[in-house]
Structure 1
Amino acid sequence: MADRIAVNSATRLSEAIHKLTAMYREKKYVVVSFREGKDRTLDQNALWFALYERIAQMTNIGDVEDARSYCKLHVGVRILLRDCADYRETWDRLFLHWSYEDKLALMGAHPVAGPEGLAVTRLFNRKQGIEYTDRIVSEFTGRGVFFGDLLGEAAA
């Protein structure tokens, strides 16, 4: 049984300790992992999909999945390579020698990476997710793509 508890108050900390104690008493073996920061939100995932749709509509990059793959490779992978030594080491060992086309294909449904493609955005913490959004918007605004309506900004 896998449970996740976000500890953001004294009450939630107490609940987590109680849950851990109960699991230990029942099973005598419990695996625990800790991570700082907030999770990405479903709203963030929905925003990314809307960005990919807009990019697909307003550029010659391809369809929504092509836009998603492009953004994951050109923006997301770069964030993880910068921020995560383990990811960088694994990327360099396994994928650095791959062609650009093969790396791009790895970002979508792929026999090696599964139906969602290589883990990139799902590994982000909240801060990395915000940076990912900002960098996509910056890059594609420079190419003439308008995102203001998606981001709640007034049209210029």
Structure 2
Amino acid sequence: MPTKVIREPAHADALALLLGGRKLPITVTWAQGATRSSAQNRLARRWFTDVATQLGDRTHEEVRAECKLIIGVPILRAENEAFRLSYDRTMKQLDYEEKLDAIKAFDLPVTRLMTAKQMTEFMDQMQRHWTSQGVRLTDPEALRYEQEFA
């Protein structure tokens, strides 16, 4: 599905022109806010690995699915009506393990749908959740320094 962040009035005008040239009918959806940043994505991936490595009883992908389910899904259900309706129709009735399996099997889009603000909330909650269990997560500043000299 095409995505465009509208940051100024000229972008909205360009989108209107683009949509005006499309064959009808079309469906348009939008979300308030900008999409998540690549820095947020890199840090989240690192944290999934940090958790998997330190706990040793789950893989990166299992941690990713768990974080999507226990942290990301509640954020999106609260703030994205289309996500909530779709999730509730297809996933809500499943038990916890079935939800994790479905998230992994279908790569359920959760963080991919988040705005930068929602992704910040996801990261904040993820940090609180895992550090309360004794997991040391990579410091964002250290990761930025590492990327600069890689």
Interval of TM-score (by shorter of Structure 1 and Structure 2) = 0.7 to 0.9
Q: CA deviation at 1:16?
A: 4.8
Letter of the 2:114 counterpart = F
Give the direction of change, closer, same or farther, for the CA distance of 1:14–1:99 in structure 2 (3 Å limit): closer
Asked whether the equivalents of residues 55 and 61 of structure 1 are also in contact (C-alpha less than 8 Å), the reply is no
Give the direction of change, closer, same or farther, for the CA distance of 1:33–1:80 in structure 2 (3 Å limit): closer
Asked whether the equivalents of residues 61 and 67 of structure 1 are also in contact (C-alpha less than 8 Å), the reply is no
Q: Which residue of structure 2 lines up, in the alignment, with residue 80 of structure 1? A: 76
- The CA distance in 2 between the partners of 1:124 and 1:36, in whole Å, is 10
Asked whether the equivalents of residues 50 and 150 of structure 1 are also in contact (C-alpha less than 8 Å), the reply is no
Gap runs ≥5 in structure 1: none
- The CA distance in 2 between the partners of 1:133 and 1:150, in whole Å, is 12
Q: Which residue of structure 2 lines up, in the alignment, with residue 143 of structure 1? A: 133
Matched residue SS, 2:71: helix
Counterpart selection for 2:35 from 28, 32, 39: 39
Q: Which residue of structure 2 lines up, in the alignment, with residue 7 of structure 1? A: 6
Give the direction of change, closer, same or farther, for the CA distance of 1:3–1:132 in structure 2 (3 Å limit): closer
How high is the sequence identity, in percent, across the aligned residues? Answer: 26
> Rg bigger for which structure?
1
Gap runs ≥5 in structure 2: 143-150
1:128 aligns with 2:118: yes
Q: Could you state the TM-score of these two structures normalised by the residue count of structure 1?
A: 0.74
Q: How many residues align?
A: 139
Counterpart selection for 1:152 from 128, 141, 144: 141
For the aligned residue pairs, the C-alpha RMSD in angstroms reads: 2.6
Asked whether the equivalents of residues 7 and 16 of structure 1 are also in contact (C-alpha less than 8 Å), the reply is yes
Higher helix share: 2
Q: CA deviation at 1:120?
A: 0.9
Q: Could you state the TM-score of these two structures normalised by the residue count of structure 2?
A: 0.77
